[in-house]
A and B are shown apart, each in its own frame.
Chain A
Amino acid sequence: MKYVDDYRDSKLIASLLRRLRDLASRRWTLMEVCGGQTQSIVRYGLDELVSEQIELLHGPGCPVCVTPLHLLDAACELASDPNVLLCSFGDMLRVPGSSSNLAALKSAGAGIRVIYSPLDAVALAERFPTRQVVLFAIGFETTAPANATALLLAHQRKLTNFSLLSSMVLVPPAVAAIFDAPHNRVQALLGPGHVCSVVGSGDYERLSARYQVPIVITGFEPVDLLEGMLRSVALLETAQASVDIQYVRAVKAEGNPEARRAVERAFEVCDRTWRGIGVIPASGLRPAPAFAEFDAEKRFQLRVLQGAENPACISGQILTGAKKPTECPAFGAPCTPEQPLGATMVSQEGACAAYYHNQRKRSHAALVANRSGSRVSPLTSAPETAPRPAAPSSKERSL
């Protein structure tokens, strides 16, 4: 595939690793923000391949992982209503709530549909006019435009049986919270490429200036990630706290105004609880007052239940980069993707699941060295359930 294979080229990977070794005068600490980046880094073993030059901390950018327990419990409660059809991305289904999870409810007969796109939920609302269709709208700035379009479409079609249970979150406030934390060790940030294709680089310019941290807005393939790391190290070595865009094929400084317009019209900024982290002010999105009728929390007058987390789960420390999954006493036993204690062990983009599925033994980490000329890997993604969208590129055709 165009713009995918090119960025998995083993020769380029080898050359970037050599350049990184030549450039780094010391070991630097970087954080990648996005769960898709974490997944790719662990899959290709990049954290091990660069371990002498860079310590990689994994950030809070897995939308499934940060969805707060009370909203997951609310989703479970809604799904248990025989009048409701709850639409969710597949990764969300096995995330443990306080007393159950969506997958178990689905097995017991609850109306839960796994969707590929938020727009599918609108189609379902039209097809089942007697059911209340609730879109479990999770995601960062990347998913917000599709969620916004679903809401605006439902509004335009005057659907009275469609609403969103919003757990949408924003990256910059979470990054600021991590930078503000007393034990913050992050020296440079690999910025979230897909998020910035929508919002542009402005927020990241401000973050970089305020915290004097270099930020390189980076893509998702191994060549992107290594180049993002190389550029970060170049900025660190020359003590420049500026923003650089590695993911130039998708990110413009101004982002995509069309996509942003849909989000600004449909949603408003609100405070949001991040699972494992706590409340971060102005870090979420919910339906704007003009579309309050599409807000499931209002429509169903959901009680805010404060469920209890499993005390053995340290996902908050994982999500803020304070600890690595392998530093958790529960990692691998008893916490596994089959019996997860927390969300980070469920989602494909969760750091714990990524570590578990790619169980690394340092002696395995074959070095790229002399391997060249082979076709790029057909490996594409973690062996997990259900649709995780995000094809990095594609060729468009007319209808």
Chain B
Amino acid sequence: MGVVEFGAVHKEVCLDAVPTARIGDFVLVHVGYALTLLNATEADALLALLHDLAAEMDS
């Protein structure tokens, strides 16, 4: 078990399926169970791409 922060709320969550989780990592939580680690690199890259495309369309 570990503590996960949701906004300004903390809740105990089962971390069995994410053994490599370290403090500061992001996890996907469902019914009190962390399903997977979130891939910050992929997430940021996709968002950056979407913002670039949006900016391109505006110009």
- Find B10's partner among A3, A227, A256, A397 (CB 8 Å cutoff): A397
Q: A258–B19 Cα gap in the complex (Å)?
A: 8
Partner among B19, B28, B50 whose Cβ is within 8 Å of the Cβ of A393: B28
**Contact assessment for A397 and B5 in the assembled complex, using a CB-CB cutoff below 8 Å:** yes
Selected interface stretch from A11-19, A281-289, A353-361? A11-19
Additional A-B contact list (15), CB under 8 Å, known A250-B35, A395-B6: A3-B26, A12-B50, A15-B53, A145-B33, A145-B35, A149-B16, A197-B28, A198-B35, A223-B50, A249-B42, A250-B39, A256-B17, A396-B23, A396-B25, A396-B26
| Interface membership of chain A positions 218-239, coded 1 if the CB is closer than 8 angstroms to chain B and 0 otherwise | 0000010001000000000000
Q: Are A142 and B15 in contact (CB under 8 A)?
A: no
Decide yes or no: A227 and B31 within 8 Å by CB, A249-B38, A250-B39, A395-B5 being known contacts. Answer: no
A395/B17 in contact, CB under 8 A: no
Question: How far is the CB of A32 from the nearest CB of chain B, in Å?
Answer: 18
Across-interface contacts of B23 in A (CB, < 8 A): 396-398
- The answer to whether B43 touches A3 (Cβ under 8 A) is yes
Q: A382 in the interface, Cβ–Cβ < 8 Å?
A: no
CB-based contact A194/B54 at 8 Å: no
- Interface size for A (C-beta < 8 A) is 48
Q: Are B36 and A12 in contact (CB under 8 A)?
A: no
Interface residues of chain B: helix, strand, loop or mixed (majority): mixed
9-residue interface stretch from A115-123, A175-183, A325-333: A115-123
Interface residues on B, range: 35 or more
> Are B4 and A249 interface neighbours, CB within 8 A?
no
Q: Are B5 and A396 in contact (CB-based, < 8 A)?
A: yes
A145 to B34, CA, bound (A): 9
Tell me which residues from 201 to 254 in chain A have a Cβ below 8 Å from any Cβ of chain B: 223, 227, 248-252
Complex Cα distance, B24 from A258, in Å, reads 20
Which of B4, B30, B58 touches A142 (beta carbons < 8 Å)? B30
Please give, as numbers and ranges, the residues of chain A lying within 8 Å of B47 by CB-CB distance: 6
Chain A 55-71: CB-based contact to B (< 8 A → 1; otherwise 0): 00000000000000000
Known: A249-B46, A393-B27. A145 touches B4 (CB 8 A): no
Chain A residue at minimal CB-CB distance from B26: A393
Q: Which residues of A contact B13 (CB under 8 A)?
A: 394, 396
- Least distance between B13 CB and chain A CB atoms (Å): 8
Report A-chain residues with C-beta under 8 Å of the C-beta of B50.
12, 15-16, 223, 227
